[in-house]
């Protein structure tokens, strides 16, 4: 069921990928997603080299299925991060926040599949040139760091699919079986979900952060950083109001960095300060109403996807 090229390339059962999420994407969550038949990803952005080793080991204790890591190319110790991940058993590397050319060849030579997250067609073409195996095309509805062009998933996926000859995974705005089938309809060969997996028992997010997702209205997220430091989607809160007010006053990138300071993402996601932290969250958070286990999330996505396809077939046969 729902077997695509992506499943063959990654050695997984369902083309459903855990978004690489700093702080939240730890071993319990990554292992649960892999064990359910998807691809679990450790969000290694905030991990030390030792933590990468220990988190990979923890995943391997919990599942014998393939898992991956998300590595931000801007980390100064990126080469060590790659070594640690591969030595500790990750078979997929998602390269983010940087040029896919830098490390794709090196990682592939060591037998790992490489995926790269892109917000537009031009970046997707750079990935193909770099030899990336799978492109994750992410729309502006996604939580966390988004592209300056602010292209939505609905508009982005078919344009990227038309432009490249490698499989495309859709990210942004997907949290259930309807979104999964919609993404496949647009030409994607799989989906990446972030916010839906934050609101699971297995995620390392603080209970207050999970609750905030369950309470979120459709318009509960906003973009900051649009003018200078890069668009980031998070829950509307005291911090986003401060940042947006500074932006309206014409704050420079440095002034915004100074205002925001360090550690805001951990403050929201693991310390639970939803008002003063950066509570990265996708727009589809407004649809998520129940905390579930990862295995239930998978069961429900797959069941709803089957129902959706039955319904669509019905429309096309009347």
Site for its own copies in 103-142 (CB under 8 A): 120-122, 139-141
Round to whole Å and give the CA distance between 91 and 89: 6
13 sits near its own copies (criterion: CB under 8 A): no
CB closer to its own copies, 40 vs 282: 282
Do 138 and 150 meet the contact criterion of CB atoms below 8 Å apart? no
User: Residue 37 interacts with its own copies (CB under 8 A)?
Assistant: no
Instruction: Give CA angle at 37 (299, 308), nearest 5°.
Output: 40
User: Could you tell me the two tokens for 93?
Assistant: 């590397």
Nearer to its own copies, 207 or 217 (CB): 217
H-state helical runs in the chain: 5-10, 27-35, 49-62, 78-87, 104-109, 121-130, 153-163, 177-185, 195-198, 207-215, 238-248, 253-260, 264-269, 294-317
Binder of its own copies out of 8, 110, 155, 290 (CB under 8 A):
155
d(CA 190, CA 5): 9
Q: Is 305 in the site for its own copies (CB under 8 A)?
A: yes
According to the binding rule CB under 8 A, does residue 232 interact with its own copies?
no
38 binds its own copies (CB under 8 A): no
CB of 122 to its own copies, least distance (A): 8
Binding flag, residue 299, its own copies (CB under 8 A): no
Q: What is the C-alpha to C-alpha distance for residues 70 and 107, in angstroms, rounded to an integer? A: 13
**Near its own copies in 166-205, by CB under 8 A:** 172-174, 176, 178-179, 181-187
Give contact residues for its own copies (rule: CB under 8 A): 1-4, 120-122, 139-141, 149-156, 158-159, 162, 172-174, 176, 178-179, 181-187, 217-219, 223, 227, 248-250, 282-284, 286-287, 305-306, 308-309, 311-313, 315-318
């Amino acid at each position: 069921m729902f077997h695509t090229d992506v499943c063959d390339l990654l050695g997984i059962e369902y083309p459903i990928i855990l978004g690489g999420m700093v702080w939240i994407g730890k071993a319990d969550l990554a292992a649960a997603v892999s064990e359910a038949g998807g691809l679990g990803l450790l969000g290694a952005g905030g991990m030390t080299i030792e933590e990468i080793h220990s988190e990979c080991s923890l995943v391997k204790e919990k599942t014998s299925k393939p898992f991956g890591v998300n590595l931000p190319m801007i980390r100064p110790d990126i080469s060590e991060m790659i070594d640690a991940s591969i030595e500790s058993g990750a078979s997929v590397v998602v390269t983010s926040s940087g040029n896919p050319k830098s490390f794709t060849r090196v990682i592939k030579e060591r037998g790992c599949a490489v995926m790269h997250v892109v917000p537009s067609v031009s970046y997707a073409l750079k990935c193909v040139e770099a030899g990336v195996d799978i492109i994750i095309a992410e729309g502006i509805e996604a939580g966390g760091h988004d592209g300056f062009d602010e292209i939505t998933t609905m508009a982005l996926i078919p344009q990227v699919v038309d432009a490249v000859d490698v499989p495309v995974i859709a990210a942004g705005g997907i949290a259930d079986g309807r979104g999964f089938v919609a993404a496949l309809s647009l030409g994607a060969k799989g989906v990446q979900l972030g916010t839906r997996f934050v609101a699971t028992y297995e995620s390392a997010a603080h209970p207050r952060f999970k609750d905030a997702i369950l309470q979120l209205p459709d318009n509960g997220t906003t973009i900051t950083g649009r003018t200078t430091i890069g668009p980031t989607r998070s829950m509307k809160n005291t911090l986003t109001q401060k940042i947006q007010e500074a932006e309206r006053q014409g704050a420079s990138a440095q002034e915004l960095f100074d205002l925001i300071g360090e550690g805001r993402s951990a403050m929201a996601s693991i310390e639970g300060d939803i008002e003063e932290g950066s509570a990265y969250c996708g727009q589809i958070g407004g649809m998520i109403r129940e905390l579930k286990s990862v295995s239930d999330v998978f069961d429900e996505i797959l069941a709803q996807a089957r129902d959706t396809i039955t319904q669509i077939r019905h429309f096309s046969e009347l």
